[in-house]
Structure 1
Amino acid sequence: MSDGLLVSFRTSSAWDVEWMEGTRAYLVESDGDIQLMSEDVQVRHGSVESHLDPHLDWVSLAGTADVESGADLQSKRKEMFTKLKFLPRAEDQLKQLDSRWVAPVAQTLALMNRALVEWSPTSSHPSWYTHVTADSQSRRDDGLLDFRDFDGATRTFHTHARFTPGAGRIHFRLDASTRTATVAHVGQKLV
C-alpha cells in the first residue's frame, strides 16, 4: 500500500529473493456496504545488500514524490541528499522554487546524490544518472558561473545538471576527496 521495501533476515532460502509475493487486503465502501477486497502483489524485498541492486532506481528517488514545495525540499535537503552541500544562495533558491520545478529538481538532486554515493575514488568523475555537462571555456571565463564558496573564496561552478520544464540548471562543484558536490545555483540557465 505504501510502495515500500520489505526487509527481513535471511534465516531461510525463502528470504533470499529480491521480490516477495503477497496478498494485499483492503476495505472498499460501495453503496453503504463495506467489502473486504484482496489482490496478489509483488513487493520489493531485501535481506542482503545484493537484493537492493534491482531496486536502486526506486531507492534513489524515494521520498522525492513526498516533497510539496521548494521550502519543503530545502528543509529536507540534508536527509535526502547526503552527498550534496548547498551554498546559502542555493538554499534560498530552493525555498523560492517555482512549483512546477519542485519534483524535477528533487528527482535530479536525488539522481546526482546516487551517483556521488556510488562514485569510486579511482574514477575521475561519477557515472551520472541524469544529464550532466561542463560549461565551455568561454562560459567559464564570463564570470556568470563564479560564486562565493563556503570558505569565502570565489570559485567557478562550471558543471551543471539540467532539469525541465524550461532551461533549468543545477550548477555545482565536485570534491573528489569527500565524494561530494557543492551546489551553487538552482534555477534558470545563467545568461
Structure 2
Amino acid sequence: MRLVTFLNELSQPSDRMSDGEAKENVGKLIKLLREIKRIRSGLELHSIQPLVSINMGNQRTLSSLRTDGNTREEWQFLRGLENRAFDLAGELHDLTMDYEHKGVPCVGLGLAHAIDALAVSFEGADWSESSLELVCRELANDGELSESLVCVRHAATEENLADLQEWLRLIPLKNYASGEEMWERRAEAFPSLLFLPRTEQQIVSLKNGSEALGPVNLRLWQLECAAQNWEQGRGSPSFLSKVTPEHEQRKSLCQFESVASGVQYFDLHARYTPGAGRIHMWCNPENHTIEIAHIGHKL
C-alpha cells in the first residue's frame, strides 16, 4: 500500500548554510526517509517541483549538491521515491482550500493535511514537532470563506518518527487488483461498513491501474477501523481521517434510503485524491455501523 509524503518547502536550507551543512541536511532527510520506507515499503516522496530543481539556498539546487560518486546511491534512492510530485499542487485548488504556517503560505504541508498524508522536512529548529498547526481557509459553495486551525502529521527527525509509529502501521497493507475485487471482498475487508446498492457500480468502475483505487481502499479501511472502535455512548466514532459535514445549502443533495433505517442525510464525507473525491456516509448509532452512499466526485 502506498504511503504518500509531501516535502515541506518551507524547511529547505537557507543561504546561511554552507555547502557542507546543506549536504549534511540532505543526508539527514534521506536517513529519515529510509527509516520510513523500512516501515512502509510503498513510500512516495512528493514535492511542489521536481527534486532536481529544489532550492537549497545560496543558488544551489538539490542536484548541484550531488557532486561526487559517494552520493550516487542516495540520489537514486530519492529519485525512486519521486512520483509526479509537482503536479499534485493543483489538488489544493480542487479542494478550494489554502493553508498557512505562521503566516506563510505552505503548499506541501497543506497537501499533506488535505489528503491525510505525512509531511516531511529538512531538519531544523522550526521543524522539531511531530504535529504542526496550520491555518486552513476554505471557500464554501455559497462564497463564504471559513478559517480554522488544523494539525498535520510531520516528521523531520527520528524522534518525530517514533511518535508516528502507530499511525504508520495503521495504514492497510492489503491492495486490491481492481474495484471489482474490492466489491467482492467487501464483507471480509469492511465488515462494519454497509454499502448502498448505488455504490456497487462506483466501486466496480475502479479498474486495475486506477489512481483512485488505493485512496478509496485507504479511506474505507479507516472508516472500518473507526466503526470497530466506536465507543459505547458516543454519538459518532473517532475518525482516522478528516470527515466533515456538507454545507447546509447542499445537505438536501445527500438524502438516501438507508439500508437499515429509512431516509437519512449522508452528508458526512471523507475526501480522497486524485481529484476532489468524496465518500459520503451515515453513522448508525444503533448498531455502530457506517453506511456508505456515494464514492466518487462531489455530489
Query: Under TM normalisation by the shorter chain, which class is it?
Result: 0.5 to 0.7
Paired residues, what number? 133
TM-score (norm 2): 0.42
Q: Distance in 2 between matches of 1:132 and 1:152?
A: 22
Residue 126 of structure 1 pairs with residue 237 of structure 2: yes
- Say whether 1:175 aligns with 2:284: yes
Q: CA deviation at 1:155?
A: 2.4
Pairing partner for 1:112 from 218, 223, 228: 223
Deviation at 1:151, TM superposition (A): 5.4
Q: Which residue, 158, 173, 177 being the options, matches 1:68?
A: 177
CA distance in 1 between partners of 2:289 and 2:295 (Å): 17
Question: Runs of 4+ in structure 1 displaced over 6 angstroms?
Answer: none
CA contact (8 A) 1:157 1:171 kept: yes
Identity of aligned residues (%): 33
Quick check: 1:91 aligned with 2:191? no
Give yes or no for contact 2:194–2:259 (8 Å, CA) kept in 1: no
CA displacement 1:1-30 (0-9 Å, x = unmatched): xxxxxxxxxxxxxxxxxxxxxxxxxxxxxx
Q: Give the TM-score normalised by structure 1.
A: 0.64
Question: For 1:9-24, what aligned pairs fall within 5 Å after superposition?
Answer: none
Distance in 2 (CA, whole Å) between partners of 1:121 and 1:151 is: 19
Task: Quote the Cα distance in structure 1 between the aligned partners of 2:282 and 2:262.
Answer: 13
CA RMSD of aligned residues (A): 1.9
1-structure distance, mates of 2:276, 2:261: 29
For the residues of structure 2 that align with 1:97 and 1:74, how far apart are their CA atoms?
A: 10
| CA-to-aligned-CA distance 1:66-86 (integer Å, 9 cap, x gap) | x01111111111111111000
Q: Spell out, residue by residue over 1:11-63, the C-alpha distance to the aligned partner (whole angstroms, 9 max, x if none).
A: xxxxxxxxxxxxxxxxxxxxxxxxxxxxxxxxxxxxxxxxxxx7675356132
Q: How does 1:53-64 map to 2 (within 5 A)?
A: 58=169, 61-63=172-174
Q: What is the letter of the counterpart of residue 80 of structure 1?
A: A
Q: What is the alpha-carbon distance in structure 1 between the residues aligned to residue 255 and residue 211 of structure 2? A: 27
Q: Give the Cα–Cα distance (whole angstroms) in 2 for the partners of residues 136 and 118 of structure 1.
A: 27
**In structure 1, the residue corresponding to 2:198 is in which secondary structure?**
helix
